[in-house]
A = this chain, B = another copy of it.
Amino acid sequence: MQQLLQERIENASLRPGDQLPTENELAQELAVNRLTVWQAIAELSLAGQLEVRRAVGTFVAPPPTQFVVTLGAQRSKAAVEETTQALRGDGRIAQETLISSAIAEDAQVREHLGLPRHRLRRVDTLFGVDGQPWAVNTYWFADSRFRGITAHLADDGSVFRVCSDVCGVDLRDAWRSFAAAAARPRDAELLDIPVGTPVLERDGLNVDADGRPTTFVTRRLRSDRVRFVLNYDLDD
């Protein structure tokens, strides 16, 4: 029934922005319970096909308009922070605010960083653009190397900027990885999206000027906001 309802809604040839009948109307027309209608709509909403505005109505969602971040394919320097730069060039205001900073432990991060004897610090931040939440970031690094960084981050939450300007450590990218994931309850709250909504997870390892692994970063970006592009050089 739920599936049938979804197909009906899909095939109703509605255009983006169109409003659906209310849940009560749909329930009556199709002779099903309103909860059933609600569940069908909730699924399509999670799938990004419908936009539910509480106390207003349910609408066909417009296709997402994502901001495109171009990845440096060849550069190794200065690729760090390219998102912020690109946004600035687009006339937007990017801001990173500190959420938490604490000593923590994670086996996988340790493996990436390769610092068996160091205490690790985990710093969480929220990245926003024009006042809207875009990403939750988690930074990992040896506490000893950036001692006292938390105080600075309270003023300026941009971790890489503090690493560079305050601590004098120049970072460059070693690698980055991309995957899709579901928003966990904590992500969901910070990003203002329902639990389970897709997020784009971008992990990365940064090394210092001597090539030693220094920071490991996980960003979880709202999938409706960002897309990454990798351009290939065609003149080989």
Q: Please report A residues at the B interface, Cβ cutoff 8 Å.
A: 3, 6-7, 10, 43-44, 46-49, 66, 68, 71-77, 79, 172-185, 188, 195-201, 207, 211, 221, 223, 226-234, 236
Contact = CB atoms under 8 A, between A and B. Distances in A.
Contacts of A68: 177
Nearest to A207: B234
A229 B196 CA distance: 24
10 nearest CB pairs, A to B: A46-B196, A180-B223, A198-B198, A180-B180, A180-B200, A179-B227, A180-B198, A177-B229, A47-B182, A76-B232
A177 B230 contact: yes
A48 to B, nearest CB: 5
Contacts of A66: 179
A118 B199 CA distance: 36
B10 A236 contact: no
B232 A179 contact: no
A200 B198 CA distance: 9
A197 B180 CA distance: 10
B234 A211 contact: yes
Copies in the complex: 2
Nearest to A204: B230
Contacts of A44: 195
B227 A178 contact: yes
A227 B183 CA distance: 17
A177 B234 contact: no
Contact of A175 (B46, B201, B232): B232
21 contacts: A6-B195, A46-B195, A46-B196, A47-B182, A47-B183, A47-B185, A48-B184, A71-B230, A73-B73, A73-B230, A75-B236, A76-B234, A77-B236, A174-B232, A178-B228, A178-B229, A179-B200, A180-B199, A180-B200, A180-B201, A181-B223
Contacts of A231: 174-175
A1 B176 CA distance: 39
